[in-house]
Amino acid sequence: MNLSDYKSVIEKAATYKHYGKVLRVVGLMIESEGPAANIGEVCYIHSSSSNRPPIVSEVVGFNNEKILLMPYAEVTEIGSGCLVESTGKPLTVKVGRSLIGNVVNSLGQPLDDQASLPKGLSNYLTDQAPPNPMTRPPIRKPIQVGVKAIDSLLTMGKGQRVGIFAGSGVGKSTLLGMIARNSNADINVIALIGERGREVREFIEHDLGEEGLKKTIVVAATSDQPALMRIKGAYTATAISEYFRDLGYHVNLMMDSVTRVAMAQREIGLAIGEPPTTKGYTPSVFSILPKLLERTGTNKAGTITAFYTVLVDGDDMNEPIADAVRGILDGHFVMDRKLAERGQFPAINVQKSVSRVMNMVATAEQKQIAQELRKLMAVYEDNRELINIGAYKRGTNQEIDRSISYYPKIQEFLRQDIHEVNTLEETIQLMKSLLNGGIE
C-alpha cells in the first residue's frame, strides 16, 4: 500500500464546504455571490422549499465578480439568498452498452418516469476536445446508408460528416429514420433537439420503429426546455457517440437539428450580454459550431458518421447557420420542396448535393456511371421548359433525346418507399442496370 498517495489526497481535500447565495434572477440568468467556480462547472441551487430537490445549473459567465448561472430546469421557488453549491466539476453523463435501446434527456437521465438507468455504466464528460487532426485516419471505406439516392450518386464513407439542408415539412425526420433502420453502422445515436413534444414519441414509434430502436440511443431535448438543456442535448449525444467510437464501434450520429442548437446558444449569448451580429446570432454561435461538429469523424479506434439536419428559413440555403455549417462539414444533401411536391421521396436534389469523400470511397466504374446519370439529369433540367411546352422536336439534339428517354427511369430509381431496403451492392448494381437499359 502506498501511503503517500493517500496522504496527498487528504492534503488536497477541502475541509470546508463553501456556498454562495442568489442575488437576483434576470430572464434566463441567475446571478449569485460565490461560491468559487469556473466556467462550465455544475452548481446546485438549493430551493427555499425543503422538500424540493436542488436545481442543477451551470456557470456561463461572470459580471463584476458575481457568478452568472443558467439552470437546466425551470426556475421555480428560487429567491434572493438561496444557497448555491459548486460541485467543482463539469457535466458528466452515464454511458455504456446497456444504454442502447433507451431514450434519455440532455443529462443522460431516462425520460420514462418508470424506468431507471441500467447498472454498470461509466461516467463520461459531455464536453470533449476534437481528435488531433494528425491522428485522424483518412476516410477510405464506404458506408451503407440504405437510401438509394445517397448510396448511388452521393456515396458516403465511414467517418464522414454531412448536413441535410431543408425547409420545414420536406421529410428530414423520415429520412433520418430510414438511415437509422437501413444503415450497416453498429450503433445509432439520435439527438432530437428543439423538437415538438408530440414528435419525439412519434419519431421513435413511426420513423425509427422497434427494429431501429434495438441498436439506437435517443437523446431528446424538446422545445419547451431551457436553452442550456437544448445545447447540452447536442453535447451529450456527441459524447455518447465518442464513447462508443473509442471502443472501436462504427457509430451513426444523427442530430435534428443543428439550427436549433445555434438558436439556443443565441439565447444564452444575448442573456449574458453578447452583441447580436449576423441575423441576431451572437459571436459565440459561430465559435461553438466548429467545436461541436469537429468532434465527430474518425479516430484510431472507430468512426462516427454524422448527419446534421439544418433548417433553412424560406428554403434560403445561404442563411448564416446553413452557410457556416456547409463550410465545416464533408458534404451537404439538399432536400428540395419542389421534388416533395411532385411526390418524390426522399426529396434529395442530387444535382445541388455534394459528397466530398465520394471520390475516395467509390470505384472508378461507379464514379463514371454516377457522372453520366448526373449529366443526363442536368441536360433534362436545362431544357425542361422547352420539353414541357412541346417546343423541342425529337432528333434536334442527340443529348436531349437521350436525357428525355432516361429521365423517367432515373426518377423512378431515385424514388424509394420508406420501408424499402437495398444494400449498397444492390443499389450500385441497380444503377449499372439503369444506364445499360435494364430498368424499365
| CATH code for position 24 | 2.40.30.20
223 & 131 share domain: yes
- Weakest mean pLDDT among 158-167, 198-207, 219-228: 198-207
Q: What mean pLDDT is predicted for residues 164-187?
A: 88
Mean pLDDT of 262-281: 87
* Whether residue 113 sits in one domain with residue 199: yes
pLDDT digits 0-9 by tens, 295-322: 999 999 999 999 999 988 766 677 889 9
Among 362, 377, 396, give the residue marking a domain's end.
Answer: 362
pLDDT of residue 353: 93
- Domain contains 7: no
Answer whether residue 152 shows pLDDT above 80. Answer: yes
pTM, two decimal places: 0.90
**How would residue 259 be classed by pLDDT, with cut points 50, 70 and 90?**
very high
Indicate the average pLDDT of the chain. Answer: 87
Give the domain extent around 280: 93-362
Alpha-carbon gap, residue 91 to 288, rounded angstroms:
17
In a domain, residue 282? The reply is: yes
- Once rounded to an integer, what is the mean pLDDT over residues 323-331? 92
C-alpha–C-alpha distance, residues 84 and 58, integer Å: 11
Say yes or no: 24 and 126 in one domain: no
Q: Which residue has the cell 424499402?
A: 420
277 and 380 share a domain? no
- Of the chain, the percentage scoring pLDDT greater than 70 comes to 96
Residue 8 lies in a domain: no
Using the 3D structure, point to which of 301, 330, 362 is the last residue of a domain.
362
Total structural domains within the chain: 3
Task: Judge whether residue 212 has pLDDT over 50.
Answer: yes
For 69-79, the pLDDT digits (tens) are 998 887 777 78
In the predicted structure, residue 338 carries a pLDDT above the cut 50: yes
Q: Tell whether 5 is covered by a domain.
A: no
202 band by pLDDT with thresholds 50, 70 and 90: confident
Residue 191 and residue 117 share a domain? yes
CATH, residue 226:
3.40.50.12240
